[in-house]
């Protein structure tokens, strides 16, 4: 009879642990991570488009050298967006 009480006590203790663990989890609908921050273009990308208009082709200065780019509207003003093969353009904060 004593063994049965120990088994009952063990079963209750383990189920309480599972319940306590489940209560510490965030709800399934709660976001688990913050959205990724958008990549900000370097200041040089804005400088290279000063005095230009949207759609103008320019030479954009990068740490790797000069590349062909196009000036595009962004929330912070005109910004140089380098011309790259489709599917590999970085997110320059331009919509």
- Residue 22 has phi, psi (to 5 degrees) of -65, -30
**pLDDT above 70 coverage of the chain, percent:** 49
Find the length of the chain. Answer: 95
Question: 47-82 pLDDT, tens per residue?
Answer: 999 999 999 999 998 888 999 999 999 999 999 999
Q: Strand 65-72 to strand 57-62: parallel, antiparallel, or no bridges (unpaired)?
A: antiparallel
Between the CA of residue 16 and those of 28, 43, 53, 90, what are the distances in Å?
21, 57, 66, 50
DSSP type of residue 93: S
pLDDT for residue 11: 72
The number of beta carbons lying within 10 Å of the beta carbon of residue 14 is 10
- Residue extents of the structural domains in the chain: 44-82
């Amino acid at each position: 009879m004593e063994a049965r009480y120990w088994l009952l006590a063990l079963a209750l203790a383990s189920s309480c642990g599972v319940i306590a663990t489940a209560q510490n989890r965030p709800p399934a609908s709660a976001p688990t991570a913050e959205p990724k921050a958008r990549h900000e273009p370097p200041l040089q990308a804005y400088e290279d488009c000063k005095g230009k208009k949207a759609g103008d082709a320019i030479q954009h200065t990068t740490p790797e050298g000069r590349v062909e780019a196009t000036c595009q509207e962004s929330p912070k003003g005109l910004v140089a967006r380098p011309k790259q093969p489709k599917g590999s353009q970085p997110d320059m904060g331009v919509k």
